[in-house]
Homo-oligomer: A and B are copies of this chain.
Amino acid sequence: MYNFRNDYSEGCHPEVLAALAGVNSESVIGYGADDYCKTCADLIKDLCKAPQASVEFMVGGTQTNFVAIASFLRPWESVICAHTGHVNGHEAGAVEATGHKLMQAQVAGDGKLTPAHILPLVEGGRDEHVTKPRLVYISNATETGAVYTKTELTALSKCCRDNGLLLFLDGARLGCAMASAVNDLTLADIAALTDAFYIGGTKNGAMMGEALVILDPALQGNFFRMKKQHGAVLAKGWLLGVQFQALLRDGLYFKIAGHAVEMAQYLQGGLKNLGVPMMVDSPTNQIFPIVPDKLLPQLSKLCSYEIWSKADEDHTIIRFVTSFATPKESVEGLLAELKKMG
């Protein structure tokens, strides 16, 4: 069966595994105070052209989101996000569990937030009987595979700075966003335009791990205690530094994201040729075909995927995801089978 279920369905890239195996018997100091993490943090700061940044390695995306957000905010402050944002819909109330409200903007199918979404919430937040909006959460790529352009991110950044808002970018799928044909952002651009963002490892070649980059020095203090308090300090912290070194030192991270995007685009193109409509035209590694409900049983025997939502009475939007580990043969095999099905 072909696997298009997710981009975290395999272990890690072989080079990452080799790196982990290579240090397995060394004695290393714990809790991320080791030289692997330090060297890797320096590498990331170089890539971001942000010597003032701090880099914090954590295990997963939900953890990174809520630990960072709760660390940055005061109790009466809240988060502005798209109603489709991962923090709102897929993290079991993690941000609220730290005491902070999410103020949701209804966004279009691409899942992107714009200044037009933000400004009315800022206006409403002047009333002292409500929480004060203080941080804008965006995902790049978004939950429906879209990618922010430099123009768009610059506008968001300006809007945030003009209104006393922090801009936080969830980069769980940053690799595929940056490997997509429509991307025109560099890590240095993102570092210059946001207050914090992370480079996702779990969904692009690591066993686990996200590298949070905190750009504003005022937000960096006591972050270790904050992580510790929320179970976000890995005892064998060097395991994260070692993985991100393997991914980032020689560009492996972007190379394998490029493969994932290429596979998804190949599949999307093939499906379109077969006349399958798409919910959105995604430039990244998640695509959203609309299929007749009656075909779903057959499809489920061919490959794994996720149900996204109903399209209409007789059609369902599904999600196919590719990864560093998706063989070209899977895409070709699936397309061939679908062609046979007609």
Contacts and interface: CB of A to CB of B under 8 A. Distances in A.
Interface of A: 3, 5-6, 8-12, 14, 17, 20-21, 23-30, 58-64, 66-67, 70-71, 74-76, 78, 89-94, 96-102, 104, 128-132, 202-203, 207-208, 222, 224-226, 228-236, 239, 304, 325
Contacts of A29: 5, 9
In the A-B complex, list the 4 residue pairs whose CB atoms are closest, starting with the nearest: A63-B231, A11-B24, A76-B225, A92-B228
A60 B229 contact: no
* Secondary structure type dominating chain A contacts: loop
Contact of A11 (B67, B203, B239): B239
Given A75-B97, A76-B93, 14 more contacts: A5-B27, A11-B25, A62-B231, A75-B226, A91-B229, A92-B225, A93-B131, A96-B101, A97-B99, A97-B229, A97-B230, A98-B99, A128-B222, A128-B225
11 contacts: A6-B30, A21-B21, A62-B233, A64-B231, A74-B74, A78-B96, A90-B129, A94-B229, A97-B99, A97-B230, A202-B236
A91 B230 CA distance: 9
Contacts of A224: 128
Contact of A131 (B58, B132, B229, B325): B229
Contacts of A58: 231
B14 A28 contact: no
Contacts of A304: 27
A71 B67 contact: no
Contacts of A202: 235-236
Given A17-B21, A74-B222, A99-B97, A231 B11 contact: no
Nearest to A63: B231
A303 B201 CA distance: 35
Given A225-B92, A225-B131, A70 B75 contact: yes
A224 B92 CA distance: 10
A239 B207 contact: yes
Contact of A222 (B28, B96, B132): B132
B231 A60 contact: yes
A93 B100 contact: yes
B21 A9 contact: no
A14 B24 contact: yes
A228 B91 contact: yes
A138 to B, nearest CB: 20
Contacts of A234: 59-60, 208
A248 to B, nearest CB: 20
Nearest to A11: B24
B222 A235 contact: no
A325 B28 CA distance: 12
A319 to B, nearest CB: 14
A93 B130 contact: yes
Contacts of A60: 231, 233-235
A228 B75 contact: no
Given A96-B96, A129-B92, A235-B202, A230 B230 contact: yes
A325 B25 contact: yes
Contacts of A23: 11
Q: Which of A20, A97, A98 has the most C-beta atoms of chain B within 10 angstroms of its own C-beta?
A: A97
